[in-house]
Structure 1
Amino acid sequence: MKKNNILLLAVLLCLISSCSDNDSTEELMDQQEIDTTPEVNILYFPPIDSDTWETSSLQELGWNTSNEQPLYTFLEKRGTKAFIILKNGKIVIEKYFNGATASDNNPWFSAGKTLTAFTIGIAQQENLLNIDEASATYLGAGWTNMTIDQENAITVRHHLTMTTGLDYTVSNQNCTSSNCLTYLNDPSSFWYYHNATYTLLDNIITGATNQEYTTYFTNKVKNKIGMNGAWVTLGYAKIFYSTARSMARFGLLSLNKGLWDTTEILNDPEYFTQMTTTSQNINQAYGYLWWLNGKSSFRAPASETQYTGELIPDAPDDLIAGLGKNDQKLYVVPSQNLVIIRMGNATGETLLGPSGFDNELWEKINLLIN
């Protein structure tokens, strides 16, 4: 009915203005083309210098409100402190449990690996490093306790993909001192979730940019999208702490493939695609420090076993995730324009990243959104 009314109006306007037959036909065709263009869900981005954040309600989205409270009960019982769902960039749910508040800074643990992968991409975009160069290019010779040839065979890409081949049977897998970094396998021949090799990426960025990693990250990512938070050194490990909203901001940036609204943060589509798709042929569910759903098999932290099936069977196949100790969750679902955040205490699982809690949570989310 709407289209017919528009066409009728166009015909009347042509008659009044004595337009030619050709002009009339072209105008009608143009109007038809405009009117049949499908509507697109446009992402909303909150301002970077304000706490303002637009919201959407469950009712206007058509979600199942009867399953809202059961989700909250589940989250609270499982030690959750903060939980956020964004749809099209707008907040649909923002809840805090177990004495937590919106202003609390919580640890990302290994979910923060996604921040480092993103920052590596920016440094490469700026031609400050190349992920296919030997790590020694940026760390200097002698960063390991191996021969020169063994050391030079390891590239930045191997750090991003957990395939350096460095010995993960050492007593402290977080240790980044050269005496802890010894040969076990050839690079690219084995996948193992080795924290030390990830942490060294901070030093690689420092060596490539001639700036402290934290300074470079703050200038290139954190400040540009309005995040709060800081990197905290705990022994050898470096953990990012922030509010749940700051994690949601980074999730929204990742949902939009590196653009904050129209501002270019990571404007390298090839790198972004490599980062968020299978990065090697050993663990299908791993990109560049991002976890990937929808694959036929996966490997998990602290394990040499390959498991058959999807990482999170009840989650969307295109989900990408930052997953950290004590079930810190950063879920990004491009097909549904969703970003979902869970921060808090341990849920009863002891794993460092993926856990059975992921699927339990998605069972509850699906009851709400479907």
Structure 2
Amino acid sequence: LKPLSPLSARPWPQGDQPVPALQAAAEAHLDRAALDAAVQAAFDEQNVGGYPDTRAILVVQGGAIVAERYAPGFDQNTRMLGWSATKSIMGTLVGLLVDDGVLKLDAPAPVPEWKGAGDPRGAITLRQLLTMSSGLAFVESYKPGNDSIRMLFEAGDMGALAAASPLEHAPGTFWSYSSGTTNLLSRIVFEATGGTLEGMTRFAQQRLFEPAGMRSALIEPDESGVLVGSSYAYATARDWARYGLLHLNHGQAGGKRLLSQEWLDFALTPTPVSPRPSYGAQLWLNRAEATEVGRKVLQDMPPDAFMAMGHNHQIVAVIPSQDAVIVRLGWTPEGQKFDWNKHLSRIAAALAPAVEPVK
């Protein structure tokens, strides 16, 4: 594989140079004092050990970076782990293959272990895997001995461990968040791109990371050579923001369409069997229905927001109504909490409604 291309002098977001007209338009519409105070507050909150929880905050509005700050020891070139925000990237890679016609949403998922005669798992579709409604048994809680811990820290072949999960509910009838499900998707992408680590990595780099400007992005593989799509994507804060911008800009980056509108519409459609409309296809949604007041994922954020979210409170929040992306990366220890609703909603409140595009 060719090395990551160096940082360029191209305009943001394909490069790192600000665009003066976009920058001026964005600055004119926001509350600078309130935004700076909200970003500062996210860094002021510390965990019990006295270490800063937040390592990076980056805010984009109107196509311009309007806030960017890092904790000591971190900067715009530091790759940071997204944990389960990786799931959204893996969902996007599946989307590229669906757009290509290589994979079919409503065909049985191509999992060899389920091909035996009479195996009820053979009816599970790609759509059901993407929307966490496969019906497979998988314990996601992070306690010693549970499925997620065994998979992420003991299994050499994470997809095989997930494929061995028994069926607990009829496919398409029950929603259950599962890192195992996403690692099944990873193995499906692996096989669809040639069945090698090189082939899968090249596909991710050439079809998503490079066109979106995500020069730093990489996903760590397990021992079987399959990228760990549930958890192990690393990227700079700017590149996590570029991933959000791909969705904010309707699947387009660098003047080219990477993802179809049909795929994006599917990814942002609430899973029908979820108890609340908070999950699409490997993306979290901030919607709430009239009967579910107070049950948005981020209660004080706009209802059109959608998010890639990960352990230790990693988040890439896309807010179409404000033409904005907010990235927060950090390391909140087990048993402690970073109040991402409070901090992200304060940042969003300092931004304006959608900035008119510069002609």
User: Normalized against structure 2, the TM-score is what?
Assistant: 0.78
Say if 2:220 and 2:232, in contact at 8 Å, map to a contact too. Answer: yes
**Alpha carbons of structure 1 residues 151 and 59: separation in structure 2 relative to 1, 3 Å:** closer
**Alpha carbons of structure 1 residues 147 and 198: separation in structure 2 relative to 1, 3 Å:** farther
Give the alignment partner of residue 42 of structure 2, picking from 74, 78, 85. Answer: 74
**Alpha carbons of structure 1 residues 171 and 348: separation in structure 2 relative to 1, 3 Å:** closer
Give the alignment partner of residue 54 of structure 1, picking from 7, 10, 19. Answer: 19
Three-state SS of the structure 1 residue aligned to 2:134 is: coil
**Deviation of residue 67 (structure 1)?**
5.3
Paired amino acid for 1:116: M
The answer for the alignment partner of 1:20 in structure 2 is none
Which 5+ residue runs of structure 2 have no aligned equivalent? 1-9, 47-52, 140-144, 152-157, 353-359
Say if 2:270 and 2:285, in contact at 8 Å, map to a contact too. Answer: yes
The answer for the alignment partner of 2:146 in structure 1 is 171
Give the distance between the partners of 1:73 and 1:60, measured in 2 at CA: 23
**Alpha carbons of structure 1 residues 238 and 322: separation in structure 2 relative to 1, 3 Å:** closer
Give the distance between the partners of 2:327 and 2:178, measured in 1 at CA: 25
Aligned-residue identity in percent = 25
Three-state SS of the structure 2 residue aligned to 1:342 is: strand
The answer for the alignment partner of 1:369 in structure 2 is 351
**Alpha carbons of structure 1 residues 241 and 67: separation in structure 2 relative to 1, 3 Å:** closer
**Deviation of residue 257 (structure 1)?**
1.3
Three-state SS of the structure 2 residue aligned to 1:224 is: coil
**Deviation of residue 130 (structure 1)?**
0.4
Instruction: Give CA-to-partner distance per residue, 1:144-188, whole Å, 9 cap, x none.
Output: 9x8643121111111101111111248323353357411211111
Paired amino acid for 1:93: A
Instruction: Give CA-to-partner distance per residue, 1:306-339, whole Å, 9 cap, x none.
Output: 9962121100010010000001110001111001
The answer for the alignment partner of 2:281 in structure 1 is 288
Three-state SS of the structure 2 residue aligned to 1:321 is: strand
- Within the alignment, does 1:222 sit opposite 2:209 as a pair? yes
Paired amino acid for 1:161: T
Say if 1:327 and 1:347, in contact at 8 Å, map to a contact too. Answer: no
Say if 2:309 and 2:316, in contact at 8 Å, map to a contact too. Answer: yes
Give the distance between the partners of 2:293 and 2:72, measured in 1 at CA: 34
- Within the alignment, does 1:359 sit opposite 2:341 as a pair? yes
Say if 2:85 and 2:231, in contact at 8 Å, map to a contact too. Answer: no
Correspondences of 1:248-259 after superposition (within 5 Å): 248-259=241-252
Give the distance between the partners of 2:32 and 2:78, measured in 1 at CA: 29
The answer for the alignment partner of 1:149 in structure 2 is 119
The answer for the alignment partner of 1:12 in structure 2 is none
The answer for the alignment partner of 1:97 in structure 2 is 71
Paired amino acid for 2:327: I
Say if 1:202 and 1:213, in contact at 8 Å, map to a contact too. Answer: no
**Deviation of residue 91 (structure 1)?**
0.5
Paired amino acid for 2:42: F
Paired amino acid for 2:298: I
Give the distance between the partners of 2:251 and 2:146, measured in 1 at CA: 37
Give the distance between the partners of 2:333 and 2:203, measured in 1 at CA: 34
**Deviation of residue 115 (structure 1)?**
0.9
Three-state SS of the structure 2 residue aligned to 1:361 is: helix
Paired amino acid for 1:153: A
Correspondences of 1:267-306 after superposition (within 5 Å): 268-283=260-275, 284-296=277-289
Three-state SS of the structure 2 residue aligned to 1:109 is: coil
The answer for the alignment partner of 2:132 in structure 1 is 162
The answer for the alignment partner of 1:202 in structure 2 is 186
**Deviation of residue 274 (structure 1)?**
0.9
The answer for the alignment partner of 1:108 in structure 2 is 82
**Deviation of residue 340 (structure 1)?**
0.7
How many residues are treated as equivalent by the alignment? Answer: 310
The answer for the alignment partner of 1:128 in structure 2 is 102
Structure with more contact order per residue of length (Cα contacts < 8 Å, sep ≥ 6):
2
Higher helix share: 1
Say if 1:279 and 1:288, in contact at 8 Å, map to a contact too. Answer: yes
Give the alignment partner of residue 341 of structure 1, picking from 327, 347, 351. Answer: 327
**Deviation of residue 238 (structure 1)?**
4.9
The answer for the alignment partner of 2:356 in structure 1 is none
The alignment's C-alpha RMSD in Å is: 2.9
**Deviation of residue 71 (structure 1)?**
3.1
Paired amino acid for 2:147: N
Say if 1:80 and 1:98, in contact at 8 Å, map to a contact too. Answer: no
Say if 2:82 and 2:233, in contact at 8 Å, map to a contact too. Answer: yes
Give the distance between the partners of 2:308 and 2:125, measured in 1 at CA: 23
Paired amino acid for 1:369: L
Three-state SS of the structure 1 residue aligned to 2:191 is: helix
User: Normalized against structure 1, the TM-score is what?
Assistant: 0.76
